[in-house]
Amino acid sequence: MSNVELKPARVFEQFAKINQIPRPSKREEKMIEYLKEFGKSHGLETVVDETGNVLIRKPATPGHENRKTVILQSHMDMVCDKLVDIEFDFDKDAIQTYVDGEWLRAKGTTLGADDGIGCAIELAVLDSDDIEHGPIECVFTRDEETQLTGAIGMKSGFMNGDYLINLDSEDEGQFFVSCAGGRSTIATFSVEREETPAGYFFMEAAVKGLVGGHSGDDINKKRANAIKLLTRFIYAEMQKTDVRLVSFNSGKLHNAIPRDGKVVFAVPAADKEMVKADFNIFVAKVEDEFHVTDTAMEFALTSTDAAAVITKAVGDNIIFALQAVDNGVFAMCQDEALDWLVETSSNVAAVKTTDNEVEVLSSQRSCVMSNLDNMCNTVAAAYRLAGAKVITTDGYPAWKMNPHSKLVDITAETYRKLFGKEPKVLGIHAGLECGLFSERYPNLDMVSFGPTLRYVHTPDERLLIPTVQMVWDHLLEILKNIPE
């Protein structure tokens, strides 16, 4: 399948244009300008709110003026991650895509289909003059991937529609009608440094090539976490010899399972051969544990230059806390109909070391807000016991299912009509902006769907090309069937 055969052509043309535009979270200015110019060039009413969200209104086609207004919504920013050994500037460089069988991928970086493909579908609707629809509002929010500041900053009255279709889901044929709420926990350890005792040997333990993934949607897939693996090794060695911590760096984003990392430490020179042997044994055990999910992991233990170490008590406490803190699935949903869905989870997402601080970022999620409170408290307590200062962010709310949704009925009925099969109506263990919209617009009827994506938030991100056509056809059928 070559690039010229990508269908629907109008959607992939828009996606190609979007991927020429740098749009990291919180730095979406070029994308905002592109959307403003797009609306202007098409003669469509275009509004930008004070937060930077963009709304483009398209009038109904003749004969559909009395239909209820539909809001199509996606986020303009993308997660920016790349392979450690390639040069790429997400503030300047265009995403380079290629076709791999039925999948569209990027060369060594995230693809940006989360949620660039949703934006492309919206722009294709706005650009089309041969489809039937009532009044449409196309909304493009900013900074969804880090703190949802676009949706948080949107004021009541910015959108005026009756139905909202969020185009930010990742499995074709699955319609999402609820989502988890989430918060981040930031633990900061103040550190002082000292000269290492004489006769110590410095080493760096590193891992790369883990699958990683979305810290909500992929948290139940038993994938390895680079921070937890490196911590596990260092903690085990602390039981056998004196380990002095220099630095720990791994992960980048609160919503991604960390794929690589490095920890620098010192041990008595007399024990270095023992540590090397232990590392080989550790690697073999871990590779066996994750032989299904993480088949390309690479470990390395090398000597490195001497450096000032973190004072013993603080260094030990950092490792103790990282060993103890919850990571992964904490609870599954109790309702029998949803017992397959993760209810509550936590992800240790990033560790960053400077001369005088070690900062640990983690992400907690739950569709039960009281359990979200409990999960955040559990994680915070582990860090506080170790002497860290802890901040828990305000986060975002869960989106509760509307059992009487007319839009969900229309979405399911049109899907059955088009494809002759039953769709799945689900909740998702990830944050969707619908949770925030439900607070500001309590009467807004919403559903979320999209084409199939895999390995989002990683350089392995990929888009299943045939599902884009399916989503496009389905969306047009929904627009035709919106009631007056």
- As annotated, the active-site residues are 77, 144
Number of Cβ atoms within 10 Å of the Cβ of 89? 9
Q: How distant, in Å, are the alpha carbons of 188, 191, 310, 325, 351 from that of 354?
A: 11, 9, 11, 22, 10
What secondary structure letter does DSSP report for 78? B
Specify the amino acid at residue 481. Answer: N
Tell me the pairing of strands 424-428 and 174-179.
parallel
Report the Cα 66 to chain-centroid distance in Å.
38
Distance CA 23, CA 186 (A): 25
**Whether 123 contacts 14, CB under 8 Å:** yes
Contact status, residue 138 vs residue 56, Cβ threshold 8 Å? yes
| Residue 277 CA: distances (Å) to CA of 235, 237, 268, 274, 282 | 15, 11, 15, 5, 9
Q: Could you give the CA distance from residue 484 to residue 474 in angstroms, rounded to a whole number?
A: 19
Q: Which runs of E-coded beta strand occur in 89-191?
A: 97-100, 103-106, 136-141, 163-166, 174-179, 181-190
* CA 392, 248, 268, 312 torsion-angle sign: negative
Calpha distance 326→371 (Å, rounded): 14
CB-based contact 118:74 (threshold 8 Å): yes
Report how far residue 366's alpha carbon sits from residue 332's, in angstroms, rounded to the nearest whole number: 10
**Which residues 6+ apart lie within 8 Å of 374 measured at CB?**
344
Place of tokens 């089309």: 128
CA 462 – CA 456 distance, rounded (Å) = 7
| β-strand partners of 112 | none
Angle, CA 71 vertex, CA 66 and CA 75 arms, to 5°:
165
Nearest to 166, CA basis, from 202, 118, 124: 118
Across-strand partners of 250?
261, 351
CA nearest neighbour of 158 among 138, 134, 181: 138
